[in-house]
């Protein structure tokens, strides 16, 4: 018979299974220490969210801890801005590292000591080949490399030169410290990899203390080791770096975490490489890292995505060992599920068409009760003002309606949500023949409900009062790229050639119900019948701005239905 405990493990993904097993066998004295180690050279994106939810999630589920560590071994400009944004984004996603905030650069002294140890053991040497020569000597996947002419320098000379590299005696790129492993190794990472390079650059934390900087492969394993990480979880491309990390740790007999690789997240219609995201920002192809079309966490936040929906998405996609591309529609599906439960319903008209209720008293305003969220009875109702002049959506009226159009048309009666039945009697047009105004009558007996005589209408429209509503700017977004895979380009083209020219549409003159004057930046709403929207970070009472987060139609649910029929 299966014990409940075993059943539980069966349901776990392959990484959680390893962690559960390790706890059972007391492999790490019961400890679970994971980490999320971003390089502060850009803003976090939805791919990082997968890694964040995995590492922080495992720590939370197994009573361990997760470090936030900045892998800041490469001195670059503006890093502090990235550090700040990363801290904000991980917090926003709902995770907490407690006191365990670390910086790889804080370990520079320790790493230097380890390097000296390697030199003394004859396992590292100072090499005078320049970058190009080093590349040539390295060989290829099919050709073994060649030994550097400096490979057999005596230990004393290596110690002296390395000391002088550190002291700043040599120009950038003139020398490196390299591990002495095997230039013919089948794994190219093992062909005497560079451990340190000379770079006279200020570091955002260590300032000008160093002019030699550790390479990623040299530094990364030690960062995990120094922090006594138990499960060092990383993406698949580091699988063939693992032997090198092991080799480094073995040489200095350091604490040895277990590395586990999983497949990175790829999403349709977007790019996730930080280099490409930076290019979009620098070339001003988007308004910034937090442009609502960006796959960055700050962009998604500004667009109106909730942290809960992103966490749920990460749960649904799970982790495995095979690279694949996830449909953006799945992310939006998780988003809708959450927003449907949590967002307040309001009325807004994006493309206004004026409606005059001829039999409604001039100057009268009624405050009608509107339900805030049918999914959540606890949030109650609010008042929406009704008056003689209203706006409805242009597309909710057709002068000559085709068969399946059930909304407003000449002579037809419809319901205005939370208000009355109205009937259209007259259409006013401008000189070009565009419909600019409708004259209607209302039935006072239908207030807030059905007609007492039982007559039915076929549709219910949203509306706002022309006098009492508030003007707002609304921004509609579409995918940033037209192709599912933006990197699918003709020769000589770049991914930016696949940018969607219609990814942003600005509607400067929309009208929203007055309750939205209270909208704070990033507040989320459902505009009835239109979709989910969120107040932009720059929105204020003086100028209301809303971003459309996502439409109401769930394309993922449709895709699933089709799949199930097959
Ligand atoms: P890029 O390759 O664009 O420079 P990166 O992987 O170097 O991105 P890091 O800041 O080093 O970015 O990433 C921090 C952590 O996030 C790493 O552990 C990495 O494995 C993980 N990560 C990055 N991108 C993804 C992704 N698309 N899916 C899952 N995890 C990711
Ligand atoms: Mg990286």
Kindly state the percentage of the chain with pLDDT values over 70: 98
| Structure confidence at residue 348 as a pLDDT band (50, 70, 90) | very high
Those residues whose C-beta lies under 8 Å from the C-beta of residue 453, and which sit 6 or more positions away, are none
Of all atoms in ligand 1, which is nearest to the CA of residue 39? 10
Pick from 42, 57, 76: nearest CA to 12: 57
Tokens of 422: 């109205």
Residue 241 has pLDDT above 60, yes or no: yes
Is 39 an annotated catalytic residue?
yes
Chain segment 47-100, per-residue pLDDT in tens: 999 999 999 999 999 999 999 999 999 997 668 999 999 999 999 999 999 999
Specify the higher pLDDT residue, 564 or 170. Answer: 170
Residue 544 has pLDDT above 80, yes or no: yes
Tokens of 117: 């140890």
Residue 425 has pLDDT above 90, yes or no: yes
Strand segments (E) across 155-275: 176-179, 194-198, 212-214, 231-235, 258-262, 265-267
Question: What's the pLDDT at 4?
Answer: 46
Strand segments (E) across 358-429: 366-371, 381-386, 389-393, 413-416, 421-429
Chain segment 117-140, per-residue pLDDT in tens: 999 999 999 999 999 999 999 999
Strand order in the sheet with 212-214: 124-127, 176-179, 194-198, 212-214
In this structure, the residue with its CA closest to atom 22 of ligand 1 is: 48
In this structure, the residue with its CA closest to atom 14 of ligand 1 is: 38
Long-range contacts made by residues 451-457, C-beta under 8 angstroms, separation at least 24? 451/421, 455/413, 457/413, 457/414, 457/415, 457/421
Provide the 8-state DSSP code for 114.
H
Mutation choice for ligand 1 from 82, 264, 495, CB with most ligand atoms inside 8 A: 264
Cβ-in-10-Å burial (0-12, 13-18, 19+) of 26 comes to exposed
| Structure confidence at residue 555 as a pLDDT band (50, 70, 90) | confident
Question: What's the pLDDT at 437?
Answer: 98
Is 274 an annotated catalytic residue?
yes
What domains can be seen in the chain, in order of their start residue? 31-262 (3.40.50.620), 274-344+473-565 (2.40.240.10), 348-462 (2.40.240.10)
Question: What's the pLDDT at 146?
Answer: 97
Q: Which residues line ligand 1 (CB under 6 A)?
A: 37-39, 47-48, 50-51, 234-235, 264-265, 272-274
Kindly state the percentage of the chain with pLDDT values over 90: 94
Chain segment 243-281, per-residue pLDDT in tens: 999 999 999 999 999 999 999 999 999 999 999 999 999
In this structure, the residue with its CA closest to atom 7 of ligand 1 is: 39
Q: Which ligand is nearest to the CA of 261?
A: 1
């Amino acid at each position: 018979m299966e014990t409940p405990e075993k059943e539980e493990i069966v349901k776990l993904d392959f990484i959680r299974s390893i962690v559960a097993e390790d706890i059972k066998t007391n492999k790490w004295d019961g400890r679970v220490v994971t980490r999320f180690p971003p390089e502060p050279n850009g803003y976090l994106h939805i791919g990082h969210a997968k890694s964040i939810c995995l590492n922080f999630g495992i720590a939370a589920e197994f009573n361990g801890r997760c470090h936030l560590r900045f892998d800041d071994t490469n001195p670059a400009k503006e890093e502090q801005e990235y550090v700040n944004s990363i801290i904000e984004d991980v917090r926003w996603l709902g995770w907490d590292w407690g006191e365990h905030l670390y910086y790889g650069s804080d370990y520079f002294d320790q790493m230097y000591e380890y390097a000296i140890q390697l030199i003394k053991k004859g396992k590292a040497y100072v090499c005078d080949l320049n970058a190009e020569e080093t590349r040539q000597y390295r060989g290829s996947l099919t050709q073994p490399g060649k030994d550097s002419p400096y490979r057999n320098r005596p230990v004393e000379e290596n110690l002296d030169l390395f000391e002088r590299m550190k002291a700043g005696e040599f120009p950038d790129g003139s020398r490196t410290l390299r591990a002495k492993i095997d230039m013919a190794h089948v794994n190219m990472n093992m062909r005497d990899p560079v451990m340190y390079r000379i770079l006279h650059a200020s570091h955002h934390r260590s300032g000008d203390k160093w002019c030699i900087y550790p390479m990623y492969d040299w530094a990364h394993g030690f960062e995990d080791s120094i922090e006594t990480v138990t499960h060092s979880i990383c993406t698949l491309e580091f699988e063939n770096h693992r032997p090198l990390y092991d080799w480094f740790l073995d040489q200095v007999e350091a604490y040895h975490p277990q590395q586990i690789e999983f497949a990175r997240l790829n999403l349709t219609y977007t790019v996730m490489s930080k280099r490409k995201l930076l290019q979009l920002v620098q070339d001003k192809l988007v308004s910034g890292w937090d442009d609502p079309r960006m796959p960055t966490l700050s962009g998604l936040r500004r667009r109106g995505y909730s942290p809960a929906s992103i966490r749920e998405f990460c749960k649904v996609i799970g982790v495995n060992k095979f690279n694949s591309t996830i449909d953006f529609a799945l992310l939006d599906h998780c988003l809708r599920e959450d927003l449907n439960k949590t967002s307040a319903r309001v009325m807004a008209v994006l493309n206004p068409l004026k409606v005059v209720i001829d039999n409604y008293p001039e100057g009268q305003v009624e405050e009608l009760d509107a339900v805030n969220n049918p999914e959540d009875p606890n949030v109650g109702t609010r008042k929406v003002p009704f008056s003689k002049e209203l706006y409805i959506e242009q597309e909710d009226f057709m002068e000559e309606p085709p068969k399946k159009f059930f909304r407003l048309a000449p002579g037809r009666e419809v319901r205005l949500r939370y208000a009355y039945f109205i009937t259209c009697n007259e259409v006013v047009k401008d000189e070009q023949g565009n419909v600019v105004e409708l004259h209607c009558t209302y039935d006072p007996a239908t207030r807030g409900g059905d007609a007492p005589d039982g007559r039915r209408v076929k549709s219910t429209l949203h509306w706002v009062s022309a006098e009492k509503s508030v003007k707002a700017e609304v921004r509609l977004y579409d995918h940033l790229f037209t192709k599912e895979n933006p990197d699918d380009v003709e020769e000589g083209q770049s991914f930016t050639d696949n940018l969607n020219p219609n990814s942003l549409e600005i509607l400067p003159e929309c009208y929203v119900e007055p309750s939205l004057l209270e909208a704070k930046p990033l507040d989320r709403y459902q505009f009835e019948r239109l979709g989910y929207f969120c107040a932009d970070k720059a929105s204020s009472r003086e100028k209301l701005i809303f971003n459309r987060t996502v439409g109401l139609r769930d394309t993922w649910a449709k895709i699933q239905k089709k799949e199930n029929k097959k």
